[in-house]
Amino acid sequence: MNIQNFKRSDAVRVMNWCKRNVGLNYRRQYLPTLEWHNKSEDGDCGDYDFEDNLITIYKSAHKSAIDIIHTIIHEWAHYLQSRKKYYDYADKYTYDKNPFEKQANYIADKYKYQCKRELFK
């Protein structure tokens, strides 16, 4: 699959894959919702909003479908993490040194190719 063909419905499929393969946060009553934007104003790839339980993806900030899949899994990993610890780490570390950002990247790197193989054969 190429990035031009990657749509919001594909991102929802990746999120459903995450639910089955990466896990659920049982401290939350609801699954995260998806906000999909074709353009990024500041170059961000994505974001997880702990307060609104919202994953936002900016398609234009990505170079390939695997990059979008990586970002969705990365943001899903944040959904699994402790909000309090995330903010504590954000106050103590830069983005690149934040243990939760490192963990989210590790999870995304671990699963992105498996997700692509299983969903977009």
Per-10-residue mean pLDDT for the chain, 121 residues long? 93 98 95 96 94 97 97 98 97 97 98 98 82
Q: What is the pLDDT of residue 121?
A: 82
CA 17 to CA 119: how far, in whole Å?
8
Using CA atoms, how far residue 56 sits from 8, 29, 53, 91, 117, in Å, is: 11, 19, 10, 22, 23
Is the CATH code 3.30.2010 the one for domain 3-116? yes
What tokens were used for 48?
Answer: 């997880």
Using CA atoms, how far residue 90 sits from 33, 55, 87, in Å, is: 23, 18, 5
Q: How are strands ordered across the β-sheet holding 54-58?
A: 33-37, 54-58, 46-49
Q: Is the dihedral of CA 83, 20, 66, 52 positive or negative?
A: negative
- Spans of all domains in the chain: 3-116
Measure CA of the first residue to CA of the last residue in the chain; give whole Å: 8
Q: What is the pLDDT of residue 74?
A: 98
Task: Looking at 1-121, list the stretches that DSSP marks H as alpha helix, in order from N- to C-terminal side.
Answer: 8-21, 65-80, 83-92, 99-119
